[in-house]
Amino acid sequence: MKKRLLVLFLVLGVISFSTSCYIYEYEKKDGKVIFSQSIVPGGHTIKTNQVKKADLKTFEVLDKSEKVARDKKNFYYMGKLVKGIDGETVEVVNVETKNPDMGKKIVDGIEVTVRLSTAAHCFKPYITEVRDKNGNHLIMDIQSGMYELVE
Residue 93 falls inside a structural domain: yes
| pLDDT for residue 134 | 93
Question: What pLDDT does 45 receive?
Answer: 76
- Output the pLDDT for position 131: 94
In a domain, 3, yes or no: no
Helix or strand run (H / E) with residue 141: helix 139-143
Do the domain assignments include residue 68? yes
pLDDT tens by residue, 107-138: 667 665 554 445 555 667 788 899 999 999 99
Q: With respect to residue 9, please indicate whether it lies within any of the assigned structural domains.
A: no
How far is residue 132 CA from its own chain's centroid? Answer: 21
Please report the pLDDT score of residue 48 as a whole number: 87
Is residue 57 a part of any domain in this protein?
yes
Q: Is residue 2 part of a domain?
A: no
Q: Tens digits of per-residue pLDDT, 20-71?
A: 678 888 999 999 999 998 876 666 777 888 999 999 999 999 988 888 999 9
Instruction: Say what the pTM is.
Output: 0.72
How far apart (Å, rounded) are the C-alpha atoms in residues 131 and 4? Answer: 56
> What's the domain range around 115?
22-150
State the maximum Cα–Cα separation within the chain, in Å, rounded to a whole number. 66
pLDDT computed for residue 40 by the predictor = 66
Look at residue 88 in the predicted model and tell me its pLDDT: 94
pLDDT at residue 99, as a whole number = 61
Q: How many domains does the chain have?
A: 1
Task: Please report whether residue 118 resides in a domain.
Answer: yes
Q: How far apart are CA 95 and CA 127, in angstroms?
A: 4
